[in-house]
Structure 1
Amino acid sequence: MSKESLTTTAHGVEVPRARTSSAAAREPLVRGVPCVAAGRVHDIAASASDPAFIDRCVRRYAAAGFGVPDEAEVRSWRNSWPPLLEALMRAGLSDLWLYLEYGTPGGGQRLDALLVGSVAERALGLVVIELKQWHTARVLDETRVQRSDGLVTTHPVQQVLAYRRFFEFWRPKSAPALDIRAAVVLHNADRDQGEALRIREGAGAGVPVVTGQDLAGQGAALAARLGCEDLASPAPDEVGAFERIVWTPSARLLAQVGDALKGQRTFALVGDQQHAYVEIRALVAALLEGDPQGAIVTVSGGPGSGKTALAVRLLGYLMRHQERSRPRFVTPSGTLRTHLLEAAGGHAQARDLFPPVSYLYSATQHARSVIIDEAQRMARPEGNMAPALTEALRKVPLVVVFLDERQIIRPNEGTTVNELRDAARAMGRTHHHLELTGSFRCNGSAAYTTWVDNLLYGTPTAWTGHHDYGLALSDDPFQLQQWIEQSTAAGHTARTTAGFCWRWTRTRLRGATTLPLDIAITVPTTAIGPARTWNAAWNAADTLTASDGTPLAPHNQLWATHTGGHQQIGCIYSAQGLEYHHSGVIIGPDLTWTDGHWTAHPDQSHDPKLRALPADQYLPYALNTYRVLLTRGTHATRIHATDPTTRHMLAGLVRPR
């Protein structure tokens, strides 16, 4: 079933357009769950006969934040839902709970159908169903198929496996036990086509491919074909327990890079990540078969949209399956590179695989594919594209560039999609642009990332997404520090970041056992106490250890993950590209809310590249900086603003629960 409006690339591959939102939609969510319909199978089957049912689903689609469904989407509902509902009724599954177009956190994916039933020992059985209207499709390899209309897309079994892995990897420990299953339903196809698409080895071996002929069955045999033979009607409290699950990413990306490079799928690519992966693989195949033109691919997406996850998976694929591609992974973020090297095991060959950005020119002389992550941070000498990047675009057959234009934080940095498109055109090369729209950080909360964007770039709105994400304010930095220390004691990775509004002593302090307390914030006298000053140190320029070898502070590039980092304050350069469980953010005096809008104060910055800028030029860099800092926490964020007026404005938006 179509998940988005699709465009077709020069290689005949489906690429999803970005979803649009409908602010005018007022249809309430179904039971508070992002979907277009939810209820017992028999109730939905009865409702589906109502001519107004599809209209209600269209409104609920917009209310759930999915955008506005196009005609192809609605047509697929009309064509695919009736045969599924009829089959479920004939199979005796009328009392199972069913969601149609179930949306997962972050908006990165929607499941065509999700069945929930009860299995033994109070566990819940989930069956993820992928609906396809295909009559025929030709299998290209284990991950791709070509439809009869020539479009190449993800193998439906791999697609539904990715959805199943979502529930496996995002299920919190506190959630009910889940028995997660998957099925592909091709209601227009015959059994021969189903057999051709069935995967016989690996994780996909247990996923049934159910065809129109199979759906004509009934009773226990049909229930078994759908993987539902042992599912019983779930009690209302069981359905409620499922709907109350706060889906949380259970494993961080960088800790799994080594496995990804070895081909172990410890994290799943889902939704538009998966579509982008298939598209780029198609380009790789064409280029390595001798396409003389070459290609430049740009992949854009906001914080936590999965750019680095996709980049690492792509690198692993090129290493394992395309030896002739001689891939290299380059990032201008020294912090991200350090973590990638560490996650890859620190082997000598990893340094060749992840060369520093200063070696990009050299890498282009040997590589046939280059992946550039965090490209918006690439330097622009004299305002021009970096010569090494230009050389890579000109010489390397495949260049894949991952970027977020709203993470450009300095005037001498920045690369845009339009600039790369123009460069490709001037060089006679093809350009393909892909966009990632989901959010896999910030607990997958689209509500939170939207709130941050509204706060900084639009009209600030009240925070109402308490069930999605833990957002609160700290009255002063002492309170913020206490929260970070409590979170660390509870076993979470917790870090505080701040705007670059205080000097940073970068001298490597040989033999030192403390860091200079460069950050000083005065808390004025209040009714409960006298004025006092909070002092803290920036993260260390080098590893700091006690005389007995006890780590006191990690190197700033490992500040986000290594022991002791919670005791130092990070800035944009040590936080960008990374994530941690709990995030404290100090909005410094360089950005204040004044007379109903944001005002920049570059004289309050200690960044020598920024403090001399006029206020109007400094403002977008300040907004982008705080957007990065506000989107590092995977589970919770606490904000403290040093400016009283700004604190008052935030207090009107974020009220205590």
Structure 2
Amino acid sequence: MGELAARVGDPAFLKQCAVRYTAAGFGVPGEAEVRSWRNSWPPLLRALVRAGLSDLWVYLEYGTPGGGRRLDAMLVGTKADGALGLVVVELKQWHSCRVLDAGRVLRKDGVVTAHPVFQVAAYRSFFQHWRPARAPRLDVRAVVVLHNASPEEAAVLRLGAPAVADIPVLSGADLSAPADDLAALLRAGDLAAPDAARRAAFEGIRWEPSSRLLDQVGSVLEGNSAFALVGDQQDAFLQIRATAALHLPGRGGSTAPGDGTGAVITVRGGPGSGKTALAVRLLGHLMRHHPTTRPRFITPSGTLRAHLLDAVSGHSAARELFPGIGYLRAAARQAGALVIDEAQRIKRGAHGLPPDLAAVIEHVPLAVVFLDERQIIRPDEGTTVEEIHAAAQHLGRTHHHLELTGAFRCAGSASYTAWVDALLYGTPRPWNGHTGYDLGIADDPFQLQQWVEQATAAGHTARTTAGFCWPWTRNRPRGATTLPLDITIDVPSTDPAAPDRTWRAAWNAASALTHPADGRPLAPHNQLWATHTGGHQQIGCIYTAQGLEYRDAGVIIGPDLTWNDDHWEAHPHHSRDETLRHLPPDQYLRYALNTYRVLLTRGTHTTRIHSTHPTTQHKLHTLIHPTSQTG
């Protein structure tokens, strides 16, 4: 760190940092970003050197798992008991601010932002809950440094809440404290230099959620915030919470100070950006702080709703909290607050915006609508942010729009989700395999099936999905103990002496399959296929996978989407979806690309791809080099 402290003021060093920042996938840093480095890094590094902490490892602009935000600085050292000590540092250039409420502050320049203590507390919680079981033991601390503030100005931000009382807020004067005191103030006085092995162990951690969202739904509704929000998730939560306070009566029926016009908030984010985690957390907040509004969570995805109901099966009000999409019109008359997830899936009306959604925008005091326009998969769907904005404006309702940019699935690899988008919508590029996500090619469906079975035997949740290119038999004979093998894929032999083979598999079951003799579960209902026992033995489709996740994802790209020279071509006649198969190819292409984007972004750790079309399979082989594959 001593060498870093000596170089941090050098313009050439800052240029190198800008290059590495861009290479890491954060984009080109703007002038304000570089100015903050130039102003904030030197005071911090000088303080660390003066405190005798030069031997600690320091990471600047450390990207959080999921890419939702970058930490200003992270200190890494070793504790006496062998655990790694991490100190998350939030740097602010502010002189002063005014605390608005428990989560927000008003800066002197008029900008309302997250309270830095709660901001850094969320980062700390995030690392604690994203630590995989096999990772080194971690002791995660946090500190806020306002190097331009006076002791009195910094004191304004200190909080006594138990959850954050141990997070110091340091002023510029604090950075001049005696060395031993300063080391303690920086929460690093008991940390020693990490050796090369410890640093490698830290850098080798593949951050992953230690608890899945659906496992936490019940506790979140009861007020347990173990599933931490971070970065733009937290910013969005605070903004929505503040808007709710303006437009909704509080606990006990107190009247909100709003003007009665109500508000509509749209939240847009890509696959794995944390939309559903935020939506569920928001529902819990509305239940506790605005109970008289009878808040509800509605989604047009029957699969997502089934999993939410399954996750809170012990909650007495579960079904009332998560009504079906058919309740949307009634909710417009009865509920004071609505959270709508996967809104792009709502059926459209004859004149654009779905009539039920239009009724919600007109009448519900607070509607929070989560959507992703690149997950529109049918021609009778497709609500957009622009349509909602126009409707709100026409009705005199306030409209706020928020964006979620993180990638909390796919091992937190924003690079992987960007690779998928480039593959499908832009110029396909080779996968470098160096961002922590495991992507590979399956040579045939037999290999894919074996991979899924091995992952399942190892205790992982592994599933295979495919484009809807084969028939699906809904009805089966009474007492049947097997599902029809509707999916058939011919696999040419690579050995002239060996015969060709045909791979056969069953789609997910229209209803749960149990053994007629003893009731043993043989296959879960299709809505619970992604998580319930036995689901790995059936093939899922877009309608059973959207909105969900599993550890290891196998994807079969069917004959409805093929690569030809330099572009994708659509073949709707290969689709078995009656709402799609009769579309012109140019119209079908949009839905096919969106469908495979969803399927390719379900895996939290690993994805394996196989295309039934030889030329497309070859193209994928050129992009995903065998050396980037593992397992």
Bin of the TM-score, shorter chain as denominator length: over 0.9
Q: Could you tell me how far 1:385 is from its partner in structure 2? A: 1.8
Distance (Å, rounded) in 1 between the aligned partners of 2:166 and 2:129: 19
Tell me which of 195, 209, 222 is aligned to 2:182.
222
Paired residue secondary structure (1:81)? helix
Deviations for 1:329-376, whole angstroms, at most 9, x for unmatched residues? 110000101111121235452212111111101111111111110011
Q: Look up the equivalent residue of 1:516 and give its one-letter code.
A: P
Q: Which whole-Å CA distance do the structure 2 matches of 1:350 and 1:364 have between them?
A: 20
Q: Which residue of 2 aligns with 1:537?
A: 506
State the alpha-carbon separation in 2 of the partners of residues 525 and 57 from structure 1: 51
Match of 1:611 in 2: 581
Cα distance in structure 1, aligned partners of 2:167 and 2:187? 9
What are the within-5 Å matches in structure 2 for residues 153-172 of structure 1?
153-172=113-132
Report the counterpart of residue 406 of structure 2 in structure 1: 438
Tell me, yes or no, if the aligned pair for 1:87 and 1:218 is still in contact at 8 Å: no
Amino acid at match of 1:199: L
- Does the 8 Å CA contact 1:508/1:542 hold for their aligned counterparts? no
Which stretch has the larger CA shift, 566-575 or 589-598? 589-598
Residue 223 (structure 2) pairs with residue 285 (structure 1): no
Instruction: Name the SS for the 1:512 alignment partner.
Output: coil
Q: Which 4+ runs in 1 deviate beyond 6 A?
A: none
Instruction: Give the drift of 1:231.
Output: 1.0
Corresponding residue for residue 587 of structure 1: 557
> Partner residue of 1:24?
none
The amino acid that maps onto 1:145 is V
Q: How does 1:227-246 map to 2 (within 5 A)?
A: 227-246=187-206
Give the match for residue 479 of structure 2. 511
1:76 aligns with one of 36, 49, 52: 36
Do structure 1's residue 252 and structure 2's residue 219 form an aligned pair? no
Q: Aligned to 1:309, what secondary structure does the other structure show?
A: helix
Could you tell which deviates more after superposition, 579-588 or 93-102?
A: 93-102
Residue 552 of structure 1 aligns with which residue?
522
Q: 1:383 to 1:570 in 2, by over 3 A?
A: farther
Q: SS where residue 204 of structure 1 aligns?
A: coil
Aligned counterparts of 1:71 and 1:472: Cα–Cα separation in 2: 39
Equivalent in the alignment of 2:531 = 561
The one-letter code of the counterpart of 2:459 is G
Query: Which piece of structure 1 moves more, 318-327 or 488-497?
Result: 318-327
CA distance in 1, matches of 2:152, 2:477: 71
Counterpart Cα distance in 2 of 1:96 and 1:595: 52
- CA separation in 2, counterparts of 1:350 and 1:190? 50
Choose 169-178 or 351-360, whichever is displaced more. 169-178
Aligned-partner Cα distance in 1 for 2:259–2:152: 35
Percent identity over the alignment? Answer: 66
Report the 3-state secondary structure (helix = DSSP H, G, I; strand = E; otherwise coil) of the residue aligned with 1:606.
coil
Write the letter of the residue equivalent to 1:110.
R
CA contact (8 A) 1:508 1:541 kept: no
The residue identity in structure 1 corresponding to 2:211 is A
Matched residues in 2 for 1:346 and 1:238: separation?
43
In 1, Cα distance between equivalents of 2:435 and 2:239 = 35
Residues 585-610 of structure 1: per-residue CA shift (max 9 Å, x gap): 11111111123211111000000000
Match of 1:26 in 2: none
Tell me whether 500-509 or 482-491 shows the greater mean CA deviation.
Answer: 500-509
Deviation at 1:174, TM superposition (A): 2.3
1:570 equivalent to 2:570? Answer no
Distance 1:116 1:587 in 2: 43
Following the alignment from structure 2 to structure 1, what is the Cα–Cα distance between the partners of residues 292 and 43?
46
Task: Say if 2:162 is the partner of 1:193.
Answer: no
| Residue 52 (structure 1) shift | 2.5
- SS state of the match for residue 81, structure 2? helix
In the alignment, the residues of structure 2 paired with residue 449 and residue 471 of structure 1 have an alpha-carbon distance, to the nearest angstrom, of 11
Structure 2 CA distance for aligned equivalents of residues 426 and 165 of structure 1: 42
SS at match of 1:77: helix
308, 314, 333: which one pairs with 2:282?
A: 314
Instruction: Describe how 1:50-449 pairs up with structure 2 within 5 A.
Output: 50-288=10-248, 289=256, 290-382=258-350, 384-449=352-417
The aligned counterpart of 2:433 is: 465
Whole-angstrom distance in 2 between the partners of 1:106 and 1:319: 28
Structure 1-normalised TM-score? 0.92
Q: Is the deviation greater in 346-355 or in 128-137?
A: 346-355
User: What's the Cα RMSD here?
Assistant: 1.5
Is 1:637 the equivalent of 2:607? yes
| Aligned residues of 1:194 and 1:211 also touching (Cα < 8 A) | yes
> In the TM superposition, what is the alpha-carbon distance from 1:239 to its structure 2 partner?
1.6
How far apart, CA to CA, are the structure 1 residues paired with 2:127 and 2:498? 48
CA contact (8 A) 1:447 1:468 kept: no
Per-residue Cα deviation, 1:195-216 (whole angstroms, up to 9, x for no partner): 3322223221111111122111
**Superposed CA offset, 1:502-541 (max 9, x none):** 1111126532211111111111232173112111111111
Specify the code of the residue in structure 2 equivalent to 1:168: Q
**Separation in 1 of the partners of 2:306 and 2:415?**
32
The one-letter amino acid paired with 2:566 is G
Partner of 1:592: helix, strand, or coil? Answer: strand
CA–CA separation in structure 2 for the residues paired with 1:441 and 1:646: 26
Cα shift readout 1:557-604 (whole Å, capped 9, x = no counterpart)? 100000110111100000000000011111111111123211111000
Task: Report the alpha carbon displacement of residue 148 of structure 1 after superposing the two structures with TM.
Answer: 2.9
Name the TM-score, length of structure 2 as normaliser.
0.95
Distance 1:75 1:548 in 2: 69
Q: Which of 446, 457, 474 matches 2:442?
A: 474
